[in-house]
Amino acid sequence: MPQTPLQRLSTLTAPGKQRSWRWLIPIFLVLLFLAVLFWLPWQSRQMEASDKQDQLIADTLWVEQAITFQLNRDAESVRLIASEITSNHLLAGDFIDRLRPLLKNSRELRKITWLDADNQIVASTEGLGSTSQDYIAQAVKSAQQVKDAKIPQFAPPYKLIDTANATYLDYSVPLYDERDGNQRHRYLGSLVSTYSVGAILDELVPWWFAQDNEISITDSDEVTIAKRASGGRGHDVYTQRRPLDLPGLSLILRTNSTKSAPKFLPNLLVGSVIALSLGLLWSLLALWRDIHRRLAAEDALRQQVAFRTAMENSLVTGLRARDLQGRVTYVNPAFCAMVGLGADQLVGKLPPMPYWAPEGLEEFQERFTKVLEGEVTPQFETVFLRANGERFPVLVFESALVDAQGQQTGWMGSILDISEPRRAEEMHRKQQEKLQSSARLASMGEIASTLAHELNQPLAAISSYTTGAINMLEAGTINAPQLKLALGKVNTQAQRAGQIIRSVHEFVKKRESIREPLAILTLVDNIMPLVELQAQAFNVAVRVEISPALPWISGDRMMLEQVLLNLTRNAIESMSENPANRRILRINAAALGLDTESPHVMVSVIDQGHGIPEAVAVGLFSPFYSTKADGMGMGLNICRTAIEFHGGTLSHTDNGGGGTIFQFSLPANVLHSQRATIKD
């Protein structure tokens, strides 16, 4: 099979191995250079960050040890004073003088209080509002804690409202009498030393460390107790936490450096090297940019060709391209499978084409002539011929084929095989005809008793008149005028019965659908014998108001007569319970829109029955929907299908005087109506 232009282009633009391997080494070297170029500053940045983090860890450890050492030294001094109290070497009068040097050297200590066994203050240093009930309550609480524990320990941090809401920490030492005797280990009271947590950070953390770091002390729940930020807020880049393990209390020392992460380009030298390197890379890119664009364009074109080929091969719609001379330039596999011919048998061919059906050569040739003249039929149906001689209907869509410059280079056609839709339509049509025939038979079954009664009258009259004539002949008294009158009446009754039988026969017989010019008045007259039969059974008066001058319509007589019979039968039955003076059926017709492009005739069947409730109206035209106990539910559905088959519409409205108005409109055949008028 010959290659198409797109396939040849795809072959020419396919990349060879010799064109790809030569770029591997330069690209690898460039990537390696870029990796080293960016790795060196990154590595320098990481090393700097690691050094700062290590330095922060070491400094935080040193600060934590300094704080712990000082607090332990203060605790040892307080325990020594407690020992002096329990051994009676320190009295209440000498308490303040004994503690003044300790408070002067340890400025983090704010107050030391001596409580007796009843938690009454024996002696206390100045500061923190000695008479503050808030402080006394906290001191008693701390004393009670060590009394129960019987060992010195720190109490949880607290705040004093009357001291600017600062946070404090108590270290309490229980006082027990250690002398031998009956009262050994008797509880004498407690010695409570109070620290300012903020002063611990201010006094025990060096200024140089506080200048570069935000230091805070938190409890085990990460709640900040005190903070020192001489150099500003930390940047959360370099952080460290160390536990402060104190007797009876666990605190956490947190440090957050105020230094930012090191810059990616730490100095001008590295920046200059990177700038020069980028300049070299730009020069290299400029050298092979055009080649890269060409390769990219070829790859994109190759992908487009592959995508288009896959798409066209997967279509079930036939595609056919022709140039301006009508020569076939392209066909897809679907079109080849459709006509049973290969692409090599079609591409490059000029009409007549091998898939043209012989009986349509003139039609094909006429369309081809229009193609050469620059005209084309956008959409049409025709018949193609397969290679095995089978004919099949197709639907063809044709449009201009335009190139990238906007110039027309030919014509593009899409061909659909519509064999299956046509078969489905034919099957549907036959089913509709069978359904309509069944509906007509069902209608006759519903009026069978009335029909029998109507035929019984002329047959009984015929029997009576013939019996009288026979008796006259047997008696030998032949009265010629009476005999002639009797035979005339027999003939009249026979014609009446024959007319009824012919109407029924014409209505129920099965035949093909035929469209012909029809007058609405003629349609109504044809079914009047059957309508009157039903009307007489229910004592309904029928009034027809149709002008003979109405435009004619084009349609199938039997289908439209069935519509009228179904609508009139429903109208008659709906008035069965009305008073006698309200059992009136009206059949009207009027012409509408005669001065427009779509004139039509509107036929109305009007009753004065019980009407149609809103709940029933929703499914009125649905198949198998009926309000009658013995109804099939197909009557109105068949009526709507028949009217829509003729290009019209069927609807219903409420009658203002009670009842329902069913209306259907049909396109008017104005030209035939005019010819009929001229003939008359």
For residue 419, is pLDDT > 50? yes
| Cα maximum dimension of the chain | 180
Identify which has the larger pLDDT, 386 or 165.
386
Virtual CA dihedral for 283, 289, 291, 293, nearest 10 degrees?
180
- pTM for this predicted structure: 0.39
Q: Which fold has domain 420-512?
A: Helix Hairpins (1.10.287)
CATH class, range 515-680: alpha beta
Q: Which fold has domain 49-257?
A: Beta-Lactamase (3.30.450)
Mean pLDDT of 283-296: 75
Cα 671–Cα 673–Cα 675 angle in degrees, nearest 5: 70
DSSP letters along 95-151, please?
HHHHHHHHHHH-TTEEEEEEEETTS-EEEE-S-S-TT-HHHHHHHHHHHHHHHHH-S
DSSP letters along 328-370, please?
EEEE-HHHHHHHT--GGGTTT--SSPTTB-GGGHHHHHHHHHH
pLDDT of residue 603: 92
Q: What phi, psi does 553 have (nearest 5°)?
A: -125, 170
CA-closest candidate to residue 270, choices 44, 587, 460: 44
**497-505 contacts, C-beta under 8 A, 24 or more apart:** 497/455, 497/458, 497/459, 497/462, 499/529, 500/451, 500/454, 500/455, 500/529, 500/533, 501/455, 503/527, 503/529, 503/530, 504/444, 504/451, 504/530
The CA distances from residue 543 to 237, 535, 567, 586, in Å, are 101, 11, 14, 5
**Does CATH place domain 318-417 in 3.30.450.20?**
yes
Q: Are 478 and 469 in contact (CB under 8 A)?
A: no
Q: How confident is the model at residue 679 (pLDDT cuts 50, 70, 90)?
A: very low
pLDDT of residue 632: 43
Tokens 């060096």, located at residue: 206
Q: How far apart are CA 237 and CA 50, in angstroms?
A: 11
The tally of CA atoms less than 13 A away on the side-chain side of residue 555 is: 28
Residues 6+ apart with CB under 8 A from 402: 408, 409
- Which ranges in the chain are annotated with CATH 1.10.287? 420-512
- Which ranges in the chain are annotated with CATH 3.30.565.10? 515-680
Round the average pLDDT of the chain to a whole number and report it.
Answer: 77
Tokens 């007058």, located at residue: 519
Mean pLDDT of 329-347: 84
Q: How confident is the model at residue 604 (pLDDT cuts 50, 70, 90)?
A: very high
pLDDT tens digits, one per residue of 383-401? 888 888 888 888 888 888 7
Tallying the residues shown for the chain, one arrives at: 680
Q: How far apart are CA 112 and CA 191, in angstroms?
A: 7
pLDDT of residue 173: 92
| % of the chain surpassing 90 pLDDT | 3
Residues 6+ apart with CB under 8 A from 149: 174, 248
Identify which has the larger pLDDT, 345 or 437.
345
**348-356 contacts, C-beta under 8 A, 24 or more apart:** 350/325, 350/326, 351/326, 353/328, 354/385, 354/387, 355/384, 355/385, 355/386, 356/384, 356/385
Q: How far apart are CA 3 and CA 30, in angstroms?
A: 41
For residue 23, is pLDDT > 80? no
Sign of the four-CA dihedral 76, 77, 78, 81:
positive
- Which ranges in the chain are annotated with CATH 3.30.450.20? 49-257, 318-417
Q: Are 564 and 664 in contact (CB under 8 A)?
A: no
Tokens 């409730």, located at residue: 613
Mean pLDDT of 249-257: 88
